[in-house]
Amino acid sequence: MEGVELGQHYRETLRVLGQQGGMLGLIFEKAQNKIQHPAKLRQLIVELIGKENWSAMSADVKGDAYEGLLERNAQDVKGGAGQYFTPRAVIDAIIACSSGARISRCVAARTAPVT
């Protein structure tokens, strides 16, 4: 599939996925094709995404890729995903502060009066 036909097929695929039930439908509900050039869309699908063996990858790799996309989108778009997305660095800091005796030090450091 090439050119305009590929773009139409991709848009239709996004529309059908958005009509699915459950989490899949929620993810794709308002999905849009932002790639205007059919050659770039083909390169993305066939050469970049299509060459990966996604089912052989660990969930961590796929999760990291998804987090990266969310973070990039949150930086590119004012509002939207940015108001719901918590960057990995913030999550890691929260986890580090909430482990055992460290929590009292973290809380104390953040509530100390400013002089």
User: What is the CATH classification number for the domain harbouring 14?
Assistant: 1.20.1260.30
The number of distinct structural domains making up the chain is 1
Residue 25 placed within a domain: yes
Residue 2 placed within a domain: yes
Q: What is the pLDDT of residues 46-67, one digit of tens each?
A: 777 777 777 787 777 777 777 7
DSSP letter for 37, please. Answer: -
| HSE toward the beta carbon, residue 22, CA cutoff 13 A | 1
How many residues would you count in the chain?
Answer: 115
What tokens appear for 22 in the block? 């459950």
Domain span at residue 26 reads 1-51
Residue 24 placed within a domain: yes
pLDDT of residue 42: 86
Its pTM stands at 0.48
Q: What is the pLDDT of residues 22-40, one digit of tens each?
A: 888 888 888 888 888 888 8
Residue 80 placed within a domain: no
pLDDT of residue 78: 56
Residue 64 placed within a domain: no
Query: Three-state DSSP class for 68?
Result: helix
Residue 115 placed within a domain: no
Helices 102-111 and 88-97, axial angle in degrees (round to 10) = 110
**Measuring CA to CA, which residue among 74, 36, 13 is closest to residue 66?**
74
Residue 42 placed within a domain: yes
Residue 44 placed within a domain: yes
